[in-house]
Every structure is written in C-alpha cells, then in structure tokens.
Structure 1
Amino acid sequence: MRTEPKSAPAQTERGELLLRVDDLNVRTAHRTLVHDFTLHMAHGERIGLIGESGSGKSMTTTALLGLLPNGVTADGSVEIDGYAGNLLEAPESDLMKLRGNDVAMVFQEPLTALNPLMRAGAQVAEIILQHRLAPNKAEANRRAVEMLDAVHLPDPAQAARAYPHQLSGGQRQRVMLAMALANDPALLLCDEPTTALDVTVQRQVLDLILELVRERGTGLLFITHDLAVVANMCTRVLVMNQGVVVEEGTTEDVFTRPQHPYTRGLLAASDLDAVDEHGRLFTVATAQAYVPPSGGSAPEPPVERATPPVEQAHASAALSEAQPSVDTEDPEPVMRVTDLVRTYTRGRTSLFAPAPQVHALKGISFEVPAGGRLGVVGESGSGKSTLLRILAGLDQPTSGSAVVAGNEVRGAKEAQLRALRQNLQIVFQDPMGSLDPRMTVEQIISEPLLVPGRGESAADRTRMVAKMLEAVGLPASSAARFPHQFSGGQRQRISIARALICRPQVVVADEPVSALDVSVRAQVLNLLADLVDEYGLTLVFVSHDLNVVRHLCDSVIVMQSGEIVEAGDTETVYRDPQHPYTKRLIESSLTLRQELAQSA
C-alpha cells in the first residue's frame, strides 16, 4: 500500500475538488439501487470503491458518466471541476464532450469494449480526433503510437497495426488504457480492469495505471472486489453493501481497524493467510473471531486444516454412505502422467511453407497419490487446459502416457473413456456456462448417473440428489428449481454436487472460484476441502491464484510454455522457489497482508 497523502481534507474548498457527489440515488421503477451516495475527491486522489456483486458499484460509476441503462434513473448532485452544473441534469451534448476528455473509463473486459473491426492504433487515434486534439488524421495516428508507447507496449508501431484479437489480454488492456488517457483526463474510472488477467500481467497493468496517474496528477476511482488490489493502489476506500456506503476512510484505517461488520467480513474472507481454529477460511458469517492485520504485520504461515467442525457433521453423514475406502498401503498413484506430449498442427499460412505446429505439452511427468491435493499453476498458454482435456479423456496425447484411476487415456476406446469419466469429474470455472438452463437442478445433478451400466432407479436418483444437495449446503427443495434462480456461489455448489454424485476417485477443479465474490469464494473453498476430506478424493486444482492454491493444496506443479518448471511440496515451493518463473509468479501475486505490511 502506498504511503501518500491519504484523503481530501474535510475543509477542502469546492473549487479544489475534482469530483463532488452528494446524495446520489439510482432507481428503477420498483426499487432503489444506490442510496444517498456521497463522495468528495481531490485532484490526484486515488479512491477504491469495493463491494460484492449487486452492491451498486457499477451503477454508481455509470451514473457519474450518464450511461445508465433504460429504465434506470439518477437524482442528486454530481459536479466535476471545469464544468458548471449538475452532470445528472446536463444535456447529452455536454456529456459527450466530458467523456474521454475530462472523465475516462477502463472497462473489465477489453475484448468486448474494443471494436474488433478496427486496428488498435486507429481506435486510439479516433479518440484524439473526436476531441479535436490533433489537426489531421496523420497527426492523430502519430500521437496514437506515442500513447501506445506510453503504456509500455513492446512494439507500439506494430501494435497500432494489429486488430484486438491479435493482441493478448494484457496488451488489449494497455490499448484500453491508452485510449482512456489519450486526452489527459482529470478523472480515470477503472471498473475491475485486471480481473481477467494473469497474475504477472495484472501486476504490470496495476503498476502502469499507478505510474500514469501519478505522472499526470489524474484522479483515480478504482472499482473492484479485490481488497489486496485496493491496498496496493488506493489511499482512501469506500465500502458498499446493498447500495449503501457502510464505511469509508483511509485504506490503512479501514483495512486494519474496520468498524462495520460487513467490512470485517469482507476482510476476513479476503485474507487467505488467516484461518479459524479448525483451519478453515473465515467467511462473512464467521468473521467475528477474525483479527485484521496490523499495518506492519508479516504474513502468518497457513494453519494446517483440521477435522471439519461440528456444523459440518451433516455433510460427513451424507457423504459417508456407499463411499469406497482408500487403501493407504497401496503405493499405486491415482494419477500417473509420463512424458506426455501434445502437438497441434495449425492450418497452412503459405502454399510452400510447412503447416506450423504448436507444442502445447512438451513431455511432462508427474504423479498424484490417493487422497492428494495437487495444485496446477501457470498463466495463459502454459498448457493447463490441454492437460485437463487429456486427463478427462476429451483429447488424445500425441505421445506419452496418462493413467487416471487405472484407465490409460492414450488410445482408449469410448467404453474405456466412459469408465474414466465415472472416476474423474470436473468442476468448471463458470457455473452458469456449465449448467443447462433448461434443466432442473435434480436433472443436472443426476445426469452423470444416466450412463449405461448403472442400475439406479428414478427413486434412487432422487434420494441421492437430495443427499448431495444437503452435503453442499443447499436445501432439498432446490432440486425443483432452475439454475437462473440461484446466485453464483449456489450455482457452483450445484456444479460440485453434480461432480460428486457418481462417487468419483478424482475431482479436477478448473478455476472454480475465480468468478466468485470473496465471501462466496471462502465458502466454496471450505466446502471443497471438506468434501475432499470426507470422500477421500484426489483433487487436482487448477488456478492462476497462487494464494488459493497455497491454502488448499499440499503439492504444486508450476507450468510454463507446456513444461513443468518446478514441482514439490506447496509450502516449500512458495517459501523457497527455485525457478525464475516461479519467483516472478509469487512476487507478482497480491496479498492483503503483504500490501498492508509495505505501508508500515
């Protein structure tokens, strides 16, 4: 966390403020989404706006820009330095001049915010031309290349000629940042700008935003659910819950001495270095016992998980029935990967040149013992997804061997793959995308039981679904409902129930909490850990969040460009990384305690 002047003093004069928001209300015809939001921001100040999904963060920022959707209205007062009048009452012509000139925004997903039919440089130049900051198109294009250079794109002239799909996620976000800062706005709004990025790219983009707003004296309103990012970027913070600001103050005060129970709950759920007496992550509901980090405290070593507490006994009872025992004396690993190679051949780009090849996996080997928890860490393009597809029997290796629960994947026939998929189940990243919206929860969870060879009756399946819903903390009445009637965290619980209904030996979790709010993330991680313990499951957990892997997994492999560059016991790898890539991943990873400790 940065140690600079913390906030606009209360006595700041109206003319010294960059942004003045008083009693902002955002409403639909049926309810109020944001209640009496007030914010006074000084020039150059960096403020974090934090809260979970549905808290009103995005509605507040779109109201400031006059971009509310149809049927949503705003009242109150929004004033910005340099414009005489209330922005909520300003004509659209005035707002169009202000957007991109005085106020600019960086969105969460650059691929949807950028025009796919325009080159990157042309999109930056268009902003400059629209606000008449260049006399002609040639000058605007020259300045666009300068802006792409300012956001540290490696070859700005080449990047200017590229289309968005030809750039990586981090490069696209840099183009968005160049567009936002092209006209040197006084206020920059960032709405979750690094959520979809790899950990090292996230750190680079955050450092770049911080560098640019400092150089230009730009005010920053940073919207996120990631408290560690706020601790890194902002000097003041506002906490929103259900459309109301429940707490505000300097970042250090709010994060080390929270006054509101909701703030304490968010901090507790965000802090993966803190666990309760049972070794479980804190949630908003259990945060009373949480002790916030002091500004100078160093991260504490993770506590080993213990037996699930009494309140988890219902899950234990529900899962014990018909559970195969794990033979701890059997040395045979549940999963053995040996010299696994996967090479893809792309389509020809030339009549004479050979078809290009992509080496997705380059001879990787590892083993996972029964009951083990393996974390697979790596950035985009490292080969994680290819590995998962092969382990699940959805793809065939070019060479090498992958034996999962006694089933060899290479060359397996469909009947053999069916047995493999009964023993290995996947929990996907996006629960809404992996659940059929036209099926009831009972149909979704019982679907893995419908394969040939299983003998359960309809009554058996209904009974098993009810037990699984109980095990994942959902009422049995949920069985008759549809996915859209549940929250994101509840949908992920349904995905976990579906994965475990057929009693697999191995569960592969592919980024299962990256799309969830921090409080829901803690609940789902606790649930996964408890179920793995109760079932005696083998867990393969794939994530770009190193802190989650450190909490949940006992061993880890680090992948880069289709190779395993480091492997071993999780704590050993994290405390003493040997490979430069592993060191860079760990150094780039943001944790709340580390960011607060840096301010001391």
Structure 2
Amino acid sequence: MTDTLATTTDQRPVLRLDGLRVSYPERHGDGATRAVDDLSLTVPAGGTVAVVGASGSGKSTLVNALLGLTPKAARVDFRRLEFRAGADAEARVVTDPRELRGRAVGLVPQDPVRSLDPLTRIEAHFFELHRHFLGRIDRAASRRRTVAALAAVGVDRPARRLRQYPHELSGGLRQRVLIALALVGEPRLLLADEPTSNLDATVQRRVLDLFDEVRAARGLSLLLVTHDIAVAGERADRLLVMRDGRIVESGPTREVLTRPQDPYTQRLLESLPSRLPARPAFRPASPPRIVLAADGLTRSFAGGRRDAPVTAVQDVSLTLHRGQTVAVVGESGAGKSTLLRLLTGLATPDRGTVALDGHPLRPGRPARAALARRVQLVYQNPASSLNPSLPVGRTVAEPLEAHHVGTARSRAERAAELLRQVELPAELAQRRPTELSGGQLQRVAIARALALEPDVVVLDEPVSALDQAVRFALLRLLTELQARLGVGYLLVSHDLGVVRAVADEVLVMHRGRIVESGPTEAVFTTPTSPHTRALLDAVPAPHPTPTTTPEQNRTTPL
C-alpha cells in the first residue's frame, strides 16, 4: 500500500520512499523471508509521521533499511528513494541509504543503555562525532559545542554531565543525550525509534515535547516509530499502520483513529488498556488476610565526598491483601526500585519492617529464603532475567529445583502445567528463550514466578517492553490468573493506563515518600497531590473519537 502525501504548506516532502523490499535468507533451503514488502511512505517538510504496529510487523527493519543498517545477509531493494536537503533545494535520488546517516537523517535509537558506551564519558561520545562531521577539532572546542548541545535539549548542569558515564544519568537524561547526539550532523529529518518506551509518563511527556520544540526551532521533520498508538495519536500529523511488513492503513491521524478501515487497525485500538473488562471493586475476605505489609520503611545511600546522604525511601508503609493488586507509580528517581528491593529482601532497610502474614521478617538467610519462596518477582525484561542456556521447561521448574521441591519428573509435570496456565503450547518446553517472542518470554517468566505457589508476585514494569496487542493479552492473562489463584500483585509501572485498568489501589511516590494513596479510580479522578496531577496530565491523550475535538481529548486524563 502506498502512503499519499497530505496537503501541507510545502508540497514537496523531505523524504520519499517507494517500493521498499527487505528479505532474509532462510536457514534451511533456498527460500527467503520477506520482512518488508513493497512499502512506500513520504515525510512532509516540518511534519511528524508516525509508524505503528506490533512486534514483528517490520518497523525496526524499516528504520534500519532507511539508514543502511540492515545485516549483511539482508537483501534490500527499493524502486526509488528521494531526499531534499533544504527548503529551496530539489529532491535528489539516493542510491545508497548510508549516505543519509547523520547529516541528512539523525537517528534517536530506542534503548539509550545499549546505544551509549557504558565505559565512555558523555564528553567522549560527542568528541567522536565532532571529529567525524567537522574534521580536525580540539577537545576544548568539542567541549564547548557539547555543553551548548546538551543545554539546547534541556540537560541541566551540562558542563557537569560531560564527565559522567551513562549509568550516572537518569533514563530521561540519557534520552536527551541521544537526541543531542542525533542533532550533531544538523540533519533535516529525525528518525525516532521507540524513543519513550521505557520512560515514565512525565519524562515521556517532556521528551516528546522536546521533539516538538526541536522540530519547530530547526525546521526539522520527524519520523516516529512506536508501538504506542496513544503516543502516535497525540503527536503525529499522519499515521501509518504496519502489519507483516506492509502498510495496511495510512492517512491523517484523526481520520485513521476515528474511522479505521483495516481490521488490524481496529484491533490495535481495541487493545488499549482502557478496553480491558472493568475490575469489580476489591473486597478482602473476612477476616481480611494481609499477605504482605511494610511499616515505616526507610533506606538511605551515602552521597559523594561533599554530598549529604540520599534518602531513597522514607517512612513508607503499605498493605497487600490476598487477591489484591496494589500499584506503585512515580517519576524516575521517586524510589520505586529501592522500595521493591526492600520488599523482596534484596536490600535491608535502615528502619522499618516487612511482614509476611503478620510475621515480621528477621535478618538472616532463613528469613530471606522464606521470603524468596512466598514472594516472586517478574522483571521488566524477561530476555535478561531468564537463563538463555536452559530449555523453557527447565527455566520454569528452576525455582522448584532451587528449593528442593519434588522429583525431576514431578517438576517437569509442574512446568508443563504452568505453561498451560499461561496459555503456551507444551512443545515450547524444549525450546531455548532465544527462540521465543517477547510476549512468550514474559509468559514464561510469569509461569516461573508461579511455580512455588507464592502469595505475592511483584510485577516490575511487566509489559512496558511489549507492543500494544501483546500487552493487552498479557494483562488479561494476569487478571485471570489472579482470579483463579488468589495471588496478590504488587505492580510497578510507568504506564498509568495499565495501572488504571488492573490495580485496586495505587500509591504515588515522590522523592522517596508516599504523597497520595487510595482506591485507583478515586486517585485518578480526584487527585489531591500536585505530583499525582502532574503524572496524570502527562499521560498521552486517548485516541480521538468522532464526538470530541483534539483539544477536548488533550485535557481528558486517560
């Protein structure tokens, strides 16, 4: 399907791609797998075009093909690729996409942790690019340019950041560094590949605002690749929907979202968290069984030689009943991760207690072992939390083996049962994690967490790395498992749409403290803390409906 250019102030697009095909040779045989099939698109000068679709739809292949970054084994063909370097320039035909890197098209990749060298200071990342684009340049001149570039994208104390390593920056600051790096070559087009998928709501809003500001100030165009249709709906002028390597629907964003023609686009809209079945009001059993409780948890960390200690968690208390979901939300640096470590025994509080079934946990190995058996953790990225050398069946049974539960045969049977519970076929038990999709891997991680029949499962951003349709299916599965097993969920998520859909109670953290708590719907509809209101205001507006204007949508949280 060909994307036609909408009427804009400048009729000539900055980028026009016609008939892109990308294929990979099959492992066995002479055939080829086509990842992108006859794809055409245009990006108007000064406009924002968003490409949305599920994992495996071909979005990343499109990004790589546009910059000549596909693997050597890939075969890339296109009928025509044109790029216009300036407002008064004529479009030129590009035969090798590698020509576009840096000076024509700046890439903002998805994961700043992988994209920035962890052993290299921020200053050195810029120095290498300055030498590439400017030729001979001394470090003092590069340093001056870097400070100005970081300040231009809103990095606070830019001179200090030069000497820092990537791990010393927050997620939002790392993403700003990537944007500044993408602008070094003064490109005409920014290509942003899932630039906010791992950021909390307020940082996501600030980064997206920054893209708009940079685009307006420099007269740039933006090609935004995302699985979040809410982000695309709020930010893009035009929307392209990809499936199986093809564009199945395209047009002005409002038109696509209010009158979707393709069944796949309709399914994407139906998989928004708000479309999950409404949760009944949580009513604890009588007498109520509190499976996990924290009272007055406080944890501080030493500062630098001249800095005062940093209090990451301060006087935090919470209770979790059997069958209840309690969510913890807050900006990056609010203390959510430290709180999770305290609740799961991975860190020891300076003050306060953690209790299971009313029994405070004592320091020492026996208490940690008891906690590990009854409180299980599902991490954000299952690919890094599962052993790649073990078959899936062994991975699921690993907690049983570690706690000496059952025989090898009974553990294998239990693993098969758990895979059925998370709706995975039995034959996956023999595969390695590297052979599974992201959604399948997260289901394996959930099955593994349920192996010991815990009272509590801690869900640390369990769906943030997944595309929208897979996320919807996984949330439905978690809800069904909870209803069947009665397990309590402690959920940490930066996606407030997910929180509203699945949580019974929500705790809002800010600088280590709980600043607001209560039933989820009450907190979301009548927030009392300014920090809660800021989080809600930062949520991407819902997709427009025929009965609302864009302005009305933007002011309606969730």
TM-score by length of 2: 0.88
8 A contact 1:7–1:250 mirrored in 2: no
Shift of 1:33: 1.6
In the aligned structure 2, how far is the partner of 1:451 from the partner of 1:27?
Answer: 44
Measure how far apart 1:407 and its partner are.
4.1
Q: Does 1:206 align with 2:231?
A: no
**In structure 1, C-alpha distance between the alignment counterparts of 2:330 and 2:7, rounded to whole Å:** 46
| Residue 25 (structure 1) aligns with | 21
Cα deviations across residues 384-406 of structure 1 (Å, max 9, x unaligned)?
A: 22222222223222221110234
Deviation at 1:111, TM superposition (A): 3.7
Kept after mapping to 2: 8 A contact 1:119/1:160: yes
Call closer, same or farther: CA 1:129–1:418 in 2, change over 3 Å: closer
Deviation at 1:236, TM superposition (A): 0.4
Greater shift, 330-339 or 253-262, is seen at 330-339
**Quick check: 1:548 aligned with 2:498?**
yes
1:181 and 2:183 aligned: yes
Structure 2: distance between partners of 1:142 and 1:451: 55
The answer for the alignment partner of 1:79 in structure 2 is 82
Inter-CA distance 332–19: structure 2 relative to 1 (3 Å threshold)? closer
CA distance in 2 between counterparts of 1:482 and 1:449 reads 19
Q: CA deviation at 1:103?
A: 1.8
3-state SS of 1:586 partner: helix
Letter aligned with residue 16 of structure 1: R
Distance across 2 between alignment mates of 1:538 and 1:399? 25
Instruction: Pick the aligned partner of 1:247 from 246, 249, 265.
Output: 249
Q: 1:118·1:163 contact (CA, 8 Å) conserved in 2?
A: yes
Work out whether 1:384 is the aligned partner of 2:345: no
Contact 1:377–1:558 under 8 Å retained in 2: yes
Any idea what the Cα deviations from partners look like across 1:332-366, whole Å, max 9, x if unmatched?
522221111223346xx55xx7x963322212112
Q: Which moved more, 1:32-41 or 1:441-450?
A: 441-450
1:368-517 matches, cutoff 5 A: 368-411=320-363, 413-451=364-402, 454=405, 456-517=406-467
Deviation at 1:436, TM superposition (A): 1.6
Q: Specify which of 509, 530, 542 is matched with residue 580 of structure 1.
A: 530
Q: SS of the residue aligned with 1:70?
A: coil
Q: CA deviation at 1:47?
A: 0.5
| Amino acid paired to 2:60 | S
In 1, Cα distance between the equivalents of 2:231 and 2:377?
A: 30
Distance 1:465 1:110 in 2: 35
Structure 1 residues 499-527: Cα deviation after superposition (integer angstroms, max 9, x where no partner): 22222221211111111111111111111
Q: Which residue of 2 aligns with 1:558?
A: 508
Matched AA of 1:576: T
Amino acid at match of 1:464: R
Name the SS for the 1:28 alignment partner.
strand
Tell me which moved more, 363-372 or 529-538: 363-372
Q: d(CA) in 1 for partners of 2:219 and 2:15?
A: 14
Distance 1:111 1:420 in 2: 31
Q: Which runs of 5+ in 2 are unaligned?
A: 26-31, 553-558
**Alpha-carbon distance, 1:453 to partner:** 6.8
* Cα contact 1:104–1:188 (8 A) shared by 2: yes
| Aligned counterpart for 1:88 among listed residues 87, 95, 104 | 95
SS in 1 for 2:273: coil
Q: CA deviation at 1:446?
A: 2.1
Match of 1:362 among 310, 314, 318: 314
Separation in 1 of the partners of 2:465 and 2:226?
A: 13
- The question of whether the paired residues in 2 share the 8 Å contact of 1:7 and 1:235 is answered with no
Paired residue type of 1:61: V
Q: Name the CA distance, whole Å, in 2 between partners of 1:588 and 1:327.
A: 32
Query: For the structure 1 residues 452 and 59, does the alpha-carbon distance in structure 2 shift closer, same or farther, using more than 3 Å as the test?
Result: closer
User: Structure 1 residues 152-161 or 166-175, which shifts more?
Assistant: 152-161
Aligned to 2:28: none
Q: 1:125-136 alignment to 2 at 5 Å?
A: 127=129, 130-132=132-134
Alpha-carbon deviation of 1:157? 3.6
What are the equivalent positions in structure 2 for 1:321-360 lying under 5 Å apart? 328-345=285-302, 350=305, 357-360=309-312
Match of 1:304 among 271, 279, 293: 279
Q: In the aligned structure 2, how far is the partner of 1:420 from the partner of 1:260?
A: 49
Larger CA deviation: 359-368 vs 510-519: 359-368
Is the 1:8–1:45 contact (alpha carbons within 8 Å) kept by the matching residues of 2? no
| Counterpart AA for 2:309 | Q
> How much does 1:409 deviate?
2.3
What secondary structure is seen at the aligned counterpart in 1 of 2:367? helix
Q: Which amino acid aligns with 2:24?
A: T
Report the residue type matching 1:446 in the other structure: A
Relative to structure 1, the CA distance from residue 338 to residue 74 in structure 2 (aligned partners, 3 Å threshold; closer, same or farther) is: same
Which secondary structure state, in structure 1, belongs to the residue aligned with residue 40 of structure 2? Answer: strand
**Do the aligned residues in 1 keep the contact of 2:461 with 2:494 (CA within 8 Å)?**
yes
In the alignment, what sits opposite 2:486?
A: 536
Question: Which consecutive unaligned segments of at least 5 residues does structure 1 have?
Answer: 1-5, 280-302, 308-325
Residue identity over aligned pairs, in percent, reads: 40
CA distance in 2, matches of 1:449, 1:136: 59
Shift of residue 448 of structure 1?
2.4
User: 1:72 Cα shift?
Assistant: 1.6
TM-fit CA distance, 1:189: 0.9
Q: Distance in 1 between matches of 2:404 and 2:183?
A: 61
Would you say how many aligned residue pairs link Structure 1 and Structure 2?
537
Which structure's CA Rg is the greater one? 1
**Structure-1-length-normalised TM-score:** 0.82
Residue 29 of structure 2 corresponds to none
Map 1:133-282; keep pairs closer than 5 Å.
Answer: 141-269=143-271, 271-275=272-276, 279=277
State the one-letter code of the partner of 2:231: V
Structure 1 residue 529 displacement after superposition: 0.6
Task: Give the 3-state SS of the residue equivalent to 2:42 in structure 1.
Answer: strand
Q: Which residue of 1 aligns with 2:109?
A: 107
Per-residue CA distance 1:545-568 (angstroms, 9 max, x = gap)? 111111101101111222111111
Deviations 1:209-262 (A, max 9, x none): 112112322111111111111112210011111111111111111111111111
Aligned partner (choices 2, 5, 14) of residue 8 of structure 1: 5
